[in-house]
Amino acid sequence: MGYGRGVSTSTPDPGPAPEREPGPRVIPRQDPRAQWVVTLAVVVAAIVTVRPVDTSGRGLAVAALIVVNSVALLTRHVPDARFPPRAALVWLTLGVVAAAALIGVGRSGSTYLFAYFLVGHIGYRLPLKQALSIAAASSLLCGGVLYFRLGPGHEELPWALGLTIGAPVVAGILSRSRQRAVEAMISSAESAERAARAEARTAVLTERGRIARDVHDVLAHSLAGINMQLELADALLDTGDLGKVREANDKAHSMVKESLKQAQWTVYALREDALPLLDSLTAMVESSGHRDALTVTGTVRELSAQVTQNLLRIAQEALTNAARHAPGADARVELTFDAASTTLRILNGPAAGEVTAGVGSGMGLIGMRERVALLGGTMTAGPVTEGPDQGGWQVEAVIPG
């Protein structure tokens, strides 16, 4: 015996592309065709079996009540949105009264079926308190009609049957509970799907930012340095100092080789291959012209590929900035392993040579801060105000874990 209203049971094809935005989902419910078959069977059974049916007197009243009950039962197939809650309450209450009247007026047949199905739908359609109240009233009303012999119907039906009229409300309530549970599960699945799509989009944007920083580290720095050396060589040609021209040209060639090495590092990082932190950092410091400038403190431990990659990029950025803004200055790199964090510090002294203004993209510090933020760490950068490196610059990144 089904008491839920029938709607479409079709579900959307998920399709092969998970990133496609899904449309509104159709909530699977009971088959509407089966619901219509049951309703029409009740109506036909009443027309065939309920008596008397005539065009006058009690027969006319029975015929009119069959029509009213049929309409009330057929109305349960109207979608919820078409009926405001108050209208549904009035319609179902009047339907139960009409069903009780038919039980009293009809002398034989399936007069009680209308009441059973209407009360069942009350459990599905109305809130719990209203449904239980109307179901109890229906049992008392139908039982009273039969007990007090208010019509000829008591001749065929025992009065105790009237008290069972409210029982189907339980089936209706359970049907509604199952439906609400299905809707909640589908809603939860949709929310999880939306969260997964948002997380995937965030991951894509994060990866794009990481690639942009790596491209900046390799191309912007290398091309800026090479361009500076080539411009210097071009300017020295007018002076006729071929020795300095050759020196600038050799420096440009050296920077090209270094750029190729850095490009390899970037390719490894983009492939998420794990780079050896200490070996890579040592090679990077030595290639920048600062031998024995790396100091490691604490118990060395293996870091994740993401942390290693970003620490190397921060060191590369800081050393490149030191070479550009403080040419000829000494530089030191300190890597400290603490119990709860890993600290990378790059210090350089004041410039010992002429600083070329206007070189650089201005994105170096921003890129370093973004890298540290992605790892949940903190970064400070600023001039050194005391000590042997006073007048120089310091970059310090602290990564938790």
In a domain, 44, yes or no: yes
Whether residues 74 and 222 share a domain: the answer is no
Q: Give CA angle at 364 (379, 307), nearest 5°.
A: 50
- The proportion of the chain whose per-residue pLDDT surpasses 70, expressed as a percent, equals 82
Q: Give the span between the Cα atoms of 334 and 132, in whole angstroms.
A: 76
Q: What's the mean pLDDT in 112-127?
A: 94
Q: What is the pLDDT of residue 138?
A: 93
Instruction: Report the domain count for the chain.
Output: 2
Is the pLDDT score of 26 beyond 70?
no
Q: What is the pLDDT of residue 36?
A: 93
Between 206 and 62, the higher pLDDT residue: 62
Is the pLDDT score of 132 beyond 80?
yes
Q: What is the pLDDT of residue 377?
A: 93
Query: Domain boundary at 166, 181, 205, which?
Result: 166
Give the HSE-up count for residue 297: Cα atoms under 13 Å, Cβ half-sphere.
12
Is the pLDDT score of 271 beyond 70?
no
Digit-coded pLDDT (tens) for 216-266: 666 776 777 788 878 888 888 878 788 888 888 888 887 787 677 666 666
pLDDT band for position 4 (cuts 50, 70, 90):
very low
Q: Give CA angle at 374 (373, 376), nearest 5°.
A: 60
Q: What's the mean pLDDT in 330-359?
A: 84
In a domain, 175, yes or no: no
The pTM assigned to this predicted structure is 0.50
In a domain, 159, yes or no: yes
Residue 363 sits in a domain whose CATH number is 3.30.565.10
In a domain, 58, yes or no: yes
Whether residues 104 and 213 share a domain: the answer is no
Q: Name the residue among 116, 115, 105 with its Cα closest to residue 50.
A: 105
Whether residues 201 and 324 share a domain: the answer is yes
Is the pLDDT score of 345 beyond 50?
yes
Query: Domain boundary at 119, 151, 166, which?
Result: 166
Whether residues 199 and 269 share a domain: the answer is yes
Q: Name the residue among 12, 19, 16, 35 with its Cα closest to residue 186.
A: 12
Query: Domain boundary at 166, 185, 201, which?
Result: 166
In a domain, 2, yes or no: no
In a domain, 141, yes or no: yes
Whether residues 358 and 313 share a domain: the answer is yes
In a domain, 296, yes or no: yes
Q: Any bridge partners for residue 294, and if so which?
A: 333
Q: What is the pLDDT of residue 388?
A: 83
Whether residues 227 and 105 share a domain: the answer is no
Q: What is the pLDDT of residue 30?
A: 65
Whether residues 210 and 339 share a domain: the answer is yes
What is the residue type of 143? G
Residues 101 and 69 sit within 8 Å (Cβ to Cβ):
no
In a domain, 310, yes or no: yes
Whether residues 161 and 210 share a domain: the answer is no
Whether residues 257 and 377 share a domain: the answer is yes
Q: What is the pLDDT of residue 8?
A: 40
Whether residues 51 and 140 share a domain: the answer is yes
Distance of CA 118 to CAs 24, 80, 127, 278, 316, Å? 31, 15, 15, 79, 78
Digit-coded pLDDT (tens) for 290-340: 888 899 999 999 888 888 888 988 998 888 888 878 888 889 999 999 999
91-105, 140-154, 181-195, 211-225: least confident range: 211-225
Q: What is the pLDDT of residue 394?
A: 93
Q: What is the pLDDT of residue 218?
A: 65
Q: Which domain holds residue 96?
A: 32-166
Q: What is the pLDDT of residue 275?
A: 67
Q: How many CB atoms lie within 10 A of CB 127?
A: 11
Is the pLDDT score of 142 beyond 60?
yes
Q: What's the mean pLDDT in 262-291?
A: 73
Indicate the DSSP class of residue 346. E
pLDDT band for position 146 (cuts 50, 70, 90):
confident
Whether residues 213 and 96 share a domain: the answer is no
Q: What is the pLDDT of residue 47?
A: 92
Whether residues 217 and 336 share a domain: the answer is yes
Structure tokens at 145: 């009609």
pLDDT band for position 9 (cuts 50, 70, 90):
very low
